[in-house]
Structure 1
Amino acid sequence: MATATLSSQTSHLSAANPAEKYRGAVVEDLQLPPAFCVKSSETIHRAIEQAYERDFSHIPVLDRHRRPLGYIDVATLKTRWESGDADDSEKVINVMSRFKRTASQPYTLITPYTPLAELEEFLKHNIFAIVTDPGRKFVVALATTHDLETFVSRRGF
C-alpha cells in the first residue's frame, strides 16, 4: 500500500526505458530490509530512539488494525523535539504526516510482485513507497529512489 500524497523527489535514474532497465525485476528483487513501523499510540521519544537504532528516515504509523495512517519524518520530528516544539511523551499520532485517503487520491498498491518500472513511476511523485502484502494486511518494507539506484548499479543495468 502506498499513497500519492508525499512530496516529489528528483530521480537520478537513467532515462532508459524502464522495461529494459529492470529486465522484468520486481520489488522483491530489491532485497529490502523488513519495514519498521510504530503504533499511533507510541511516544515521540520511543519512535525517535527506535528510528535511530534502525537508521530509518521515515517511519510508517499504523492504527490498531495495523493499517497505515501516515508517517513520521524522523529528521523533522527530531528537530521539533530538540527545539521544544514537541514533548517527548507526546503520541506520534499528534505529530505525524497523515496520508490523504480520498476518491481523487486513491492508494497505489505496491507489493513484492510490483514491477520495478511501476515503482519507479510512483517514486517520481513520492518520497517513498510502502510495500505491503498483496492482501494489504501488513507492511513488508519501504522502498525509495535510492533503493532503485542501488539495484541498478548493483546489477550493472
Structure 2
Amino acid sequence: MPSDSPSRALKYRGATVEDLDLAASLSCFPTDSIDIALLSAFERDYTHLTVISSSNRALLGYLPIPHLRILIDVGKVQQTDPVSKAMIRFRRKEKVFKVITMQTPLEELELFFEGNENGKQEFAIVTDDRRRFVLGVATKSDLEEFTKKRPA
C-alpha cells in the first residue's frame, strides 16, 4: 500500500464507485458503423464506448472517441467503416486486468488511474463481480467531480 493511503481513505471516507452515480454504459457492436458510434457518444457526451460481441455480449474492447476523431481526420478510417476497424481490442492473454465493480473503493480507483502494472489509465470499465456485464465507464474527471461536490 502507498504511504499516503490514510489520506486517500480520509479523502473518500468509504465511498465506492457506486457513489460516483455513473451514467449507464453505452456499448456498440464491432459491425456498427463509426458514424453511428460517434453520434451515440456525442448525444450522451461520452468519451469512451465499450465494444461488445453481438452474439454473446462479451466485452471485446473499447472505442476512445478523441482518438477516433484523429483517425478520421488523418484518413485512417472513414465514418462509414465498421467500429471493428478503429476499436482497441482487449488482449486478455497478454495482460492481467483489474476488475472494477460498483463496490470498488474510490481510493483503489484513484490508484488504478495513477498507474499499475499496465501504466496510467484514463478510464475504468465498471463491471459486475463476474465481469459478465458492463455497468458503466468511470473517468478521472468523474473522480475529481466527486471530490469537488462532496463536503469536507
TM-score by length of 1: 0.83
From 55, 59, 63, give the equivalent of 1:68: 59
From 88, 106, 118, give the equivalent of 1:97: 88
Q: Does residue 122 of structure 1 match 2:117? A: no
Report the equivalent of 2:128: 133
Number of residue-to-residue matches in the alignment? 143
How far did 1:82 drift?
4.1
Report the equivalent of 2:98: 108
Q: Does residue 32 of structure 1 match 2:32? A: no
From 48, 63, 68, give the equivalent of 1:77: 68
CA distances 1:94-137 after superposition (whole Å, capped 9, x unpaired): 2111222135x211111101111111111112110000112222
Return the letter of the residue paired with 2:93. Answer: T
Return the letter of the residue paired with 1:139. Answer: V
Residues of 1 paired with 2:8 and 2:34: CA distance? 39
Q: Secondary structure at the match of 1:28?
A: helix
Structure with the larger RCO, 1 or 2 (CA within 8 Å, 6+ apart): 1
Residues of 2 paired with 1:128 and 1:54: CA distance? 16
From 124, 127, 141, give the equivalent of 1:146: 141
Return the letter of the residue paired with 2:122. Answer: I
Structure 2, unpaired ranges of 5+: 115-119
Q: Does residue 49 of structure 1 match 2:39? A: yes
Report the equivalent of 1:9: none
Instruction: Let me know the Cα RMSD of the aligned residues.
Output: 1.9
Residues of 2 paired with 1:82 and 1:45: CA distance? 13
How far did 1:16 drift?
6.9
TM-score by length of 2: 0.85
Identity %: 38
Q: Secondary structure at the match of 2:100?
A: coil
Report the equivalent of 1:6: none
